[in-house]
Amino acid sequence: MRTDNDSNGDRDGRDRRDRTGSKDDRAEHRTAERARTPGRAHDQAHGQAHGQAHDLRHHGDAEVRDDGSALVDLAVNVRAGTPPDWLRGHIADSLGGLAAYPDGRAARAAVAARHGLPVERVLLTAGAAEAFVLLARSLKARHPVVVHPQFTEPEAALRDAGHTVDRVLLRPQDGFRLDPSAVPEDADLVVIGNPTNPTSVLHPARLIAELARPGRTLVVDEAFMDAVPDEREALAGRTDVPGLVVLRSLTKTWGLAGLRIGYVLAAPETVVELERGQPLWPVSTPALAAAEACMTPRALAEQAQAARRVATDRAHLVAGLKEFASDGVRVAEPAEGPFVLVGLPGAAAVRARLRGLGFAVRRGDTFPGLDETWLRLAVRDRTTVNRFLQALDQALSLTGGSTGRGAWGAWD
């Protein structure tokens, strides 16, 4: 457990200690001031970070709660039509064992075998979300760096645990691609997503591995890697990258967001350290049953098929979106995850119109490095995509569209 706390310190003397906002706003302000970006991106992205406080705790599910519950969901990246019946059955069968305390040995062994690792390198968690908190509370990092835009929960967890977080902002002009040299040399904890939510960029494993250093923990959030055909560019299963911690989630591909199940793959000593931060029996018996079931050859074959389907459906969505180029709609490409990031001027108004037309999409402005000109769309089946594209057409007409360059700035 971390005991030293430098969150209120000011390593570079630029902390203005804005006391007018909430605790979160002030922390956001501090981190924003330290935003680092590759090369000439610095000024632009730095200014961007200055200009707004990102709500790191906003997630896509907020778009489909309450009055959004009747909307067609392109906001949450959980695969539609899940969990499959066979998996539901497996989970239901486990209910007979609820009187006993959970025994995670079989599930842990199944995960280890699936990745060709010894069990000592596996920690089962209540979703990847638990892993972010365990890492933030357990690791004694002095200079944590999060590569943005990415899922915001790792940074939120780090800040909640008292860390001062540095950011590297990847730029649309660079296709949000990683430049390893942009990560400060003295960073002793680096967090990156692959494929990245929300940009859908799949970084080459080789490039991410370049970030590894003696004395540095390199956290790679592979929550969506199982939606990539052949899990190309996965680092899960690698033992030759020093300090590597891979996070996996079973909630997206399998539709188990409500069950809470994921896992960490790391060196045995890191697993022990993280495990110490867990409560007793952190993963329930039904979640363990699901984890074991999702590691079988049958499940892996279904996963692979789903990943190929995502690629086909995504190509259809991207092609459709490109038809709106004259309205200022631009897609971040190449997209490799089960969602796409779209830049368009007036995105906020278009999103509101889409809600009126029955579709929920994810706002982009809560992601550091993005602003209100971005939206994230979950990949859905062809029929749903076609209906969505029609609604987008209407929404753009209703909002007047735009031929502005908007989110992309000097992208081209």
Ligand X SMILES: Cc1ncc(COP(=O)(O)O)c(C=O)c1O
Interface residue list for ligand X (CB under 6 A): 127-129, 151, 193, 197, 221, 223, 249, 251, 257, 262
Q: For residues 151 and 359, which CB has a smaller minimum distance to ligand X in the complex?
A: 151
Q: Which is nearer to ligand X, 17 or 65 (CB)?
A: 65
> How far is it, in rounded angstroms, from Cα 354 to Cα 348?
10
CB of 114 to ligand X, least distance (A): 16
Compute, in degrees rounded to 10, the torsion defined by CA atoms 361, 367, 373, 377. -30
Residue 226 C-beta: closest distance to ligand X, Å: 11
Cα–Cα distance for residue pair 324/399, rounded to 1 Å: 14
Q: Alpha-carbon distance 244 to 220, whole Å?
A: 7
Nearest CB to ligand X, comparing residues 138 and 200 = 200
CB of 148 to ligand X, least distance (A): 12
CB nearer to ligand X: pick between 254 and 408: 254
Alpha helices by DSSP H, 115-199 = 127-138, 153-160
Give the neighbor-by-neighbor strand order of the sheet with 339-343.
Answer: 72-74, 359-363, 374-378, 339-343, 330-331
**Nearest residue to ligand X on Cβ basis:** 127
Nearer to ligand X, 375 or 396 (CB): 375
CB of 223 to ligand X, least distance (A): 3
Closest separation between CB of residue 40 and ligand X, Å?
Answer: 28
Shortest approach of ligand X to residue 72 CB, angstroms? 19
Our CB check for ligand X shows the closer of 263 and 388 to be 263
Handedness of CA 179, 182, 186, 192 (dihedral sign): negative
Number of Cβ atoms within 10 Å of the Cβ of 300:
14
Q: State how far the Cα of 131 lies from the Cα of 156, in Å rounded to an integer.
A: 13
Q: What is the dihedral of CA 145, 260, 287, 307, to 10 degrees?
A: -70
DSSP labels, 3-53: ----TT--TTS------SS-HHHHHHHHHHHT-B-STTHHHHHHHHHHH--
Comparing CB distances to ligand X, the nearer of 370 and 395 is: 370
Give least dist CB 102 to ligand X, A.
Answer: 17
Strand runs labelled E in 36-142: 72-74, 122-125
- Closest approach, Cβ 262 to ligand X, in A, equals 4
By beta-carbon proximity to ligand X, the closer residue of 170 and 257 is 257
